[in-house]
Amino acid sequence: MKEFSRADRVGAQMQRELALLLRDEAKNPRLAEVTIQEVRVTRDLSHAKVYFTVLDSEEAPLFTEMLGHAAGFLRKRLGQIMKLRTVPELHFVYDRSIEEGQRLSALIEKAVASDRREDEDGQA
């Protein structure tokens, strides 16, 4: 059984805490629309990449900017909640993996439908 590193454990806890902070304590109510997908913390715990999604992918740059402005507040609150000696610097990154997965799924469905049409045409 693989042990999780301290950075992995801190990242998982940061993900939970950030989701709660954005929902309950952020001054900008629109930040409650953000879903935290993953937090990757460097081994020395100095930096954390926070991967997030929003419903409207076209608004991702706006939310990246809003989260950047809230980073200081979020970092301070994380330090109070998690009782870490040093809290990682937060870097917010829009996570495109969900929309990329949807795009690939649509391509697969299109290819399967095309194969079915070709099979039906060949048997007729």
Q: Which tens digits make up the pLDDT trace of 58-90?
A: 888 999 999 999 999 999 999 999 888 888 999
Is residue 1's pLDDT more than 60?
Answer: no
- Is the pLDDT assigned to residue 40 strictly greater than 90? yes
- 111 exposure class (CB count in 10 Å sphere: 0-12, 13-18, 19+): exposed
pLDDT above 90 (res 41): yes
Q: How confident is the model at residue 27 (pLDDT cuts 50, 70, 90)?
A: confident
Are residues 79 and 42 in contact, defined by beta-carbon separation less than 8 angstroms? no
The residue to which tokens 């045409």 are assigned: 121
Which residues are CB-contacts of 46 (< 8 A; sequence separation ≥ 6)?
A: 86, 88, 89
pLDDT, position 90: 93
Q: Say yes or no to pLDDT of 124 above 60.
A: no
Domains observed in the chain: 6-96 (3.30.300.20)
* pLDDT for the residue numbered 88: 92
Whether this prediction's pTM lies above 0.85 is answered by no
